[in-house]
């Protein structure tokens, strides 16, 4: 579904991604793991076009993503979930959600999606007219996930959804991802520093270190590899 | 007491014009985080275009007004696309210098086309003879009522546009968080251009309204520069980020200046504005209506 082939992304002299290749199969959750500065976030930003690689290819359902404008990526069916700070705090909860579906230009479909999101995340429904500024960290994370789902994506890219959240809330987010995969066949790329919780829901995983893929395979295999866990995953 | 009422009314009318200029500045600040020092020159230029049509070619007042606002759209849009866009990613000072350059350029261009020293007069939209109350004349004429209604309508339209339409939601998202907005499919570049265009059209309306308030207003430098200073003061009083603050800032400034002109001395109006500006900045450095930013660590 998503094919990343030998991608190199540089910031000045730093090779943030140094020949990364990755296949993401439909209906699976792929975890991208690694320490700070391993290139995880850069990988996401390269997929959605916020940064352009110096070489390599990225295609999504046969479409060349490197020739797709950032603004058009969402129309291709890819939704980006920035970390919780990606809520637009000056807007209300309602407005943040609506923004996710605006490009569809279909008011009744939007209202229907909104109803589903509020059903999925009841705490948001109670605060729909409030400024997103007033939300807690966990609610913000629900809001960015909900906003991404408003665009009816086929592929969901998540950037560190567990960052700064209590373990109980992280577990809820992971459960939501599992449900989306099982019930809607959603494909998910999950960038996480919290390897343990990411591996608990992921089907496949890659481990990045200094811009290179150091391990790749089934999530259960990686979780069972004690050496790998100690060297790169910190548990 | 009658004098006080009169001064206040006259201040409200002027204040609405400052409010419109302040709104133009606030809209651009919100969209691109730039204080547009060319705003005064832009609205001077569009007012000259309308003046040329109305006085030299006998074009109807309302047609000239629409032409001025449409010219504002074009001037504002072009300014963003051609001048501001290339310096957007650089240090903020670059953009400031670019707007100062545009200010000088437009002033020079207007001087070349219409003469730089000749002061022209612009017809007011309505009568400037004050309303009668008993046997006394108010310092408030049909033209002042027109100014108040025109700016109030403008505020209403902008409010509805920004808060009730999808385009307004996109514009706010693009201004508040361009990167997230782009990821959600918002064409940020286009909307920033639209924001500048809209702001310049708002400024163009303010220019026409201001030009009709006194004879000899239409000249490349002078009154329109003062108007920018007042608009800027009003915007800062209101917090630079808040449209509501801009309108209230404009009204407060208009009324205070009107009182000071009459009760103290009317030769140093610009100084009062600066004193008010300094006073507000000392008490509330973020302006009266800035939203308190809570930073989470």
pLDDT in tens, B121-151: 999 999 999 999 888 889 899 999 999 999 9
Answer yes or no: do A91 and B183 touch at CB < 8 A: no
B36, part of any domain: yes
Distance from CA of A95 to the nearest CA of B (A): 7
Segments in chain A below pLDDT 50: none
A143-156 confidence digits (pLDDT tens):
999 999 999 999 99
What count of CB pairs under 8 Å joins A to B?
60
A139, part of any domain: yes
Element (H, E) at A100: helix A93-101
Say what the pLDDT of residue B290 is: 66
**Count of CA atoms in the C-beta half-sphere (13 A) of A78:** 28
Give the structural domain span for A38: 23-51+69-233
What CATH number is attached to the domain comprising A159? Answer: 3.40.50.300
Question: Does the pLDDT at position B292 exceed 70?
Answer: no
Say what the pLDDT of residue B19 is: 97
B192 neighbourhood in chain A, CB within 8 Å: none
CA separation for the pair B207, B188 (Å, rounded): 28
Count of domains in chain A? 1
CA separation for the pair B134, B136 (Å, rounded): 6
Which band of pLDDT confidence, cut at 50, 70 and 90, is reported for residue B191? very high
ipTM reported for the complex, 2 dp: 0.90
Mean pLDDT rounded to a whole number for chain B: 91
A59, part of any domain: no
Q: Which residues, other chains included, contact B101 with Cβ-Cβ below 8 Å and sequence gap of 6+?
A: B83
- Give, as one character, the DSSP assignment of residue A129: T
| Residue with more model confidence, B290 or B288 | B288
Question: Does the pLDDT at position B295 exceed 60?
Answer: no
Q: Quickly list DSSP for chain B.
A: -HHHHHHHHHHHHHHHHHHHHHHHHHHHHHHHS---TTHHHHHHHHHHHHHIIIIIS---HHHHHHHHHHHHHHHHHHIIIIIIHHHTTS-HHHHHHHHHHHHHHHHHHHHHHH-SS--B----SS--SPPEETTEE-S--HHHHHHHHHHHHHHHHHHHHHHHSHHHHHHHHHHH-HHHHHHTT--HHHHHHHHHHHHHHHHHHHHHHHHTTSTT-BSSSSHHHHHHHHHHHHHHHTTSS-HHHHHHHHHHHHHHHHHHHHHT-SS-HHHHHHHHHHHHHHH-TT-SSPPPPPPP-
Residues of A with CB under 8 A from a CB of B: 48, 50, 70-75, 80, 82, 86, 88-91, 95, 98-100, 102-103, 133, 147, 151
| Number of residues that this document lists for chain A | 235
Say what the pLDDT of residue B285 is: 77
Answer yes or no: do B186 and A98 touch at CB < 8 A: no
A172, part of any domain: yes
A14-69 confidence digits (pLDDT tens):
899 999 999 999 999 999 999 888 899 999 999 999 999 999 999 999 899 999 99
Say what the pLDDT of residue B286 is: 78
Count of domains in chain B? 1
B180 neighbourhood in chain A, CB within 8 Å: 82, 86, 88
A74, part of any domain: yes
Residues of chain B numbered 162-181 and touching chain A (CB < 8 Å): 166, 169-170, 172-173, 176-177, 179-181
| % chain B with pLDDT above 70 | 97
B279, part of any domain: no
CA separation for the pair A125, A102 (Å, rounded): 19
A64, part of any domain: no
B150, part of any domain: yes
């Amino acid at each position: 579904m998503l094919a990343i082939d030998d991608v190199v992304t540089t910031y000045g002299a730093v090779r943030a991604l140094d020949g990364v290749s990755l296949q993401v199969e439909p209906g699976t959750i792929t975890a991208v793991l690694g320490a700070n500065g391993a290139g995880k976030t850069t990988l996401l930003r390269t997929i959605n076009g916020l940064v352009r690689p110096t070489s390599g290819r990225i295609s999504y359902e046969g479409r060349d993503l490197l020739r797709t404008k950032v603004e058009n990526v969402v129309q291709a069916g890819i939704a980006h979930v920035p970390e919780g700070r990606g809520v637009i705090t000056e807007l209300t909860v309602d407005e943040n959600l609506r923004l996710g579906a605006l490009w569809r230009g279909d008011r009744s479909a939007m209202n229907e999606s909104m109803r589903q999101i509020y059903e999925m995340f009841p705490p948001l429904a109670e605060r729909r007219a409030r400024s997103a500024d007033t939300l807690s960290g966990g609610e913000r994370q629900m809001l960015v996930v909900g906003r991404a789902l408003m665009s009816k994506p086929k592929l969901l890219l998540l950037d560190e959804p567990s960052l700064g959240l209590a373990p109980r809330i992280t577990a809820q987010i992971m459960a939501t991802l599992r449900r989306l995969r099982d019930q809607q066949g959603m494909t998910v790329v999950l960038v996480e520093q919290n390897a343990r919780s990411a591996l608990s829901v992921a089907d496949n995983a890659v481990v990045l270190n200094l811009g290179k893929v150091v391990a790749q395979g089934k999530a259960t295999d990686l979780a069972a590899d004690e050496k790998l866990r100690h060297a790169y995953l910190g548990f | 007491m009658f004098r006080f009422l009169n001064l206040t009314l006259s201040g409200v009318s002027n204040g609405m014009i400052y409010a419109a200029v302040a709104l133009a500045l606030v809209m651009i600040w919100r969209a691109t985080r730039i204080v547009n020092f060319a705003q005064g020159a832009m609205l001077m230029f569009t007012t000259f275009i309308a003046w040329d049509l109305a006085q030299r070619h006998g074009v109807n007042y309302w047609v000239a007004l629409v032409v001025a606002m449409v010219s504002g759209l074009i001037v504002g849009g072009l300014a963003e696309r051609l001048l501001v866009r290339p310096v957007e990613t650089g240090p903020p000072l670059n953009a400031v210098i670019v707007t100062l350059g545009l200010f000088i350029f437009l002033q020079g261009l207007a001087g070349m086309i219409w003469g730089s020293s000749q002061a022209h007069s612009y017809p007011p939209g309505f009568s400037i003879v004050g309303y009668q109350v008993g046997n006394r004349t108010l310092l408030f004429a049909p033209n002042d009522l027109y100014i108040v209604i025109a700016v109030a309508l403008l505020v209403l339209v902008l409010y509805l546009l920004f808060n009730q339409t999808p385009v307004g939601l996109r514009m706010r998202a693009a201004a508040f968080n361009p990167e997230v907005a782009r990821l959600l499919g918002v064409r940020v570049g286009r909307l920033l251009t639209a924001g500048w265009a809209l702001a310049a059209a708002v400024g163009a309306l303010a220019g026409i309204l201001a030009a009709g308030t006194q004879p000899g207003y239409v000249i490349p430098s002078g009154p329109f520069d003062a108007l920018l200073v007042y608009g800027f003061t009003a915007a800062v009083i209101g917090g630079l980020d808040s449209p509501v603050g801009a309108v209230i800032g404009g009204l407060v400034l208009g009324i205070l200046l009107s009182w000071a002109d009459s009760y103290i001395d009317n030769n140093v109006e610009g100084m009062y504005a600066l004193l008010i500006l300094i006073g507000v900045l000392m008490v509330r450095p973020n302006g009266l209506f800035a939203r308190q930013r809570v930073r989470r660590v």
